Amino acid sequence: MTRGLLKSSKKKELLYLKFIKNPTLSNKNKFTVYRNKFKAIRVKAERNYYAAEFCKYNGDLKQTWRLIKSLVKTGSQGSTIESLVIEGTRTDNPEAMANKFNDYFVNIAKSLADKIPNSPNSFTTYLKPPFPQSFGLNLTSPEEILNLSHSIHPSHSKGVDDIDPLIASKHLASIAQPLADIINCSFTYGIFPQALKTAKIVPIFKRGARDDFTNYRPISVLPYFSKFFEKIMYDRLYNFIEKKTISFSNLNMDSKPATPPLCPY
């Protein structure tokens, strides 16, 4: 919304109020002509804005999809699942619905995997001997944790720890040192905190009938502090791969099998 569009919008409202107070044909025509002209200008400005945004995020798939979703969004229908049809019977019992979602999400991966034919080759066919150099873990620091916090997208999505990431991020400086100590302890002893392994599974509606559980997909909301373990480990591994110039090409066998498998893994 530019300053010019905002000014024109206010003028349109004034013409509308003038027509309501004095509904003459002249006032109606003035409002109608100005409204239509304003709409045309607004639509053009909106089109130019999104064209510029798509050009700006060219190559960034995540931001591109956010733009697409903002364009096609037709209004929130609420995230609450009122009822589901389970085995031909509609139910609004929360426990029954949760159990059905759990059963569906747990078994869907296996059912899809069962449809993939077995590979005629062993997985060892695609592996070279182990890399001769080991991968070590440098300890972290409060400063690194504070720097990494800027790359974590702030939201109000709470995990099973019930910690609001947006609120916690504003007070991270006061707990950066003990958090660094916990992560360093985990790296030293090779033990990941059990409580941080538990994710909250949230069913997200895709399309179709809202009472059909197969029309939902699961997303995992991890505890807030587990994301720091993940990002620090990612940086260590990424730096190692970059330093040793490890690529997909030199991890594969030089000679490919005569019969390519349907699924190499």
The answer to whether 223 and 160 have CB atoms below 8 angstroms apart is yes
- To which H or E segment does residue 217 belong? strand 216-221
Q: 4: which 2 tokens?
A: 């010019």
Helical segments of the chain, H only: 3-21, 25-56, 61-72, 94-113, 142-149, 165-169, 176-189, 226-243
Amino acid found at 36 = N
Model-level pTM? 0.57
Per-residue pLDDT at 147:
92
Distance CA 140, CA 235 (A): 11
Contact by Cβ (8 Å): 218, 203: yes
pLDDT in tens, 189-239: 999 999 999 999 999 998 889 999 999 999 999 999 999 999 999 999 998
pLDDT for the residue numbered 29: 92
Helix (H, G, I), strand (E, B) or coil at 1: coil
3-state secondary structure 39-91: HHHHHHHHHHHHHHHHHHCCCCHHHHHHHHHHHHCCCCCCCCCCCEEECCEEE
Q: Are 186 and 197 in contact (CB under 8 A)?
A: no
Amino acid at 156: H
DSSP-assigned beta bridge partners for residue 217 = 204
Q: Give 108-158 pLDDT, tens digit per residue.
A: 888 888 888 888 888 888 877 777 777 778 999 999 999 998 888 778 888
**pLDDT confidence of 79, banded at 50, 70, 90?**
low
pLDDT score recorded for residue 249: 53
Amino acid identity of 199? A
Structure tokens belonging to residue 104 = 């569906």
Lowest-pLDDT range, 11-15, 76-80, 116-120, 153-157? 76-80
Please report which confidence band the pLDDT of residue 254 belongs to, taking 50, 70 and 90 as the band edges.
very low
